[in-house]
């Protein structure tokens, strides 16, 4: 009970001062706040169980428009060398030429070209560059809110989910041990500029 109460206090404290009544206006650009943004992924190992990882270095921007959400735009950059699975040996292998080849291809990018409504969310089509290969992909996109942060800055959130095949981006080593299909979630809080 003490742990639950402590967790509740932390959650409430983190929400203190956040005004969620703010609504985005046309053409408002938000710069990603790396402290409050994350990129996580899931991939199957040996066709048995999933393992999870994250990237710790994300930058980018997005544009919100609550009057016409189809005008939402997003562009993100992720440093390949920031991959983090909680295992240093595995992380080094993922950074190697067998997988991300982070020295030769240091940045993973996505830039939307068009966004259309799909139920309560959106489909954003754009170009993803990974491992030096650029391919069109479609991500499921959800604007997650706007408001004012504790300092009074206008903030906004957006979340994108996508499933890709590593082989589409030239990552084909060890396909028998590491699954080809990778689920990726990008959750970004941005500060309006």
pLDDT tens, 137-162? 999 999 898 999 889 999 999 999 99
pLDDT exceeds 80 at position 27:
no
- State the pTM of this model: 0.83
Lowest-confidence region among 6-20, 35-49, 75-89: 6-20
Three-class secondary structure of residue 6 per DSSP: helix
How far is the C-alpha of 129 from the C-alpha of 107, rounded, in Å?
8
Does residue 12 register a pLDDT over 90? Answer: no
pLDDT by residue (tens digit) across 102-127? 999 999 999 999 988 888 788 999 99
What's the CA angle centered on 123, arms 51 and 19, to 5 degrees? 85
CB under 8 Å, gap of 24 or more: what pairs does 24-27 form?
24/64, 24/65, 24/66, 24/143, 24/146, 24/156, 25/65, 25/66, 25/67, 26/65, 26/67, 26/68, 26/71, 27/63, 27/65, 27/71
Q: What is the pLDDT of residues 48-104, one digit of tens each?
A: 999 999 999 999 999 977 677 678 789 999 999 999 999 999 999 999 999 999 999
Structure tokens at 90: 């595995």
> How far separated are the first and last CA of the chain, in Å rounded?
42
pLDDT of 69 reads 66
Nearest to 190 by CA among 12, 76, 1, 30: 30
How many other CB atoms sit within 10 Å of the CB of residue 19? 13
Secondary-structure class of domain 19-192 per CATH: mainly beta
pLDDT over 80 (residue 191): yes
The average pLDDT across 28-47 equals 94
Q: Which of 9-23, 25-39, 79-93, 147-161 has the highest mean pLDDT?
A: 79-93
- Which two three-digit tokens encode residue 55? 């990237």
Is the pLDDT at 16 greater than 70? The verdict is no
């Amino acid at each position: 009970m003490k742990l639950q109460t402590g967790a509740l206090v932390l959650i409430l404290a983190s929400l203190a001062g956040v005004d969620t009544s703010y609504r985005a206006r046309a053409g408002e650009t938000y710069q990603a706040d790396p402290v409050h943004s994350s990129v996580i992924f899931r991939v199957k190992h040996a066709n048995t169980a999933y393992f999870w990882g994250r990237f710790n270095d994300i930058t980018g921007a997005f544009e919100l428009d609550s009057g016409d959400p189809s005008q939402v735009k997003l562009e993100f950059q992720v440093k390949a060398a920031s991959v983090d699975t909680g295992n240093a040996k595995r992380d080094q292998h993922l950074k190697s030429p067998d997988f991300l080849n982070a020295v030769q291809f240091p940045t993973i990018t996505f830039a939307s070209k068009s966004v259309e409504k799909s139920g309560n969310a959106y489909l954003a089509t754009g170009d993803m560059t990974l491992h030096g290969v650029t391919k069109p992909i479609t991500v499921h996109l959800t604007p997650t809110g706007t408001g004012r942060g504790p300092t009074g800055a206008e903030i906004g959130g957006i979340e994108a989910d996508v499933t890709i095949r590593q082989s589409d981006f030239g990552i084909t080593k060890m396909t028998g041990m590491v699954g080809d299909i990778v689920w990726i979630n990008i959750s970004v809080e941005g500060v309006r500029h």
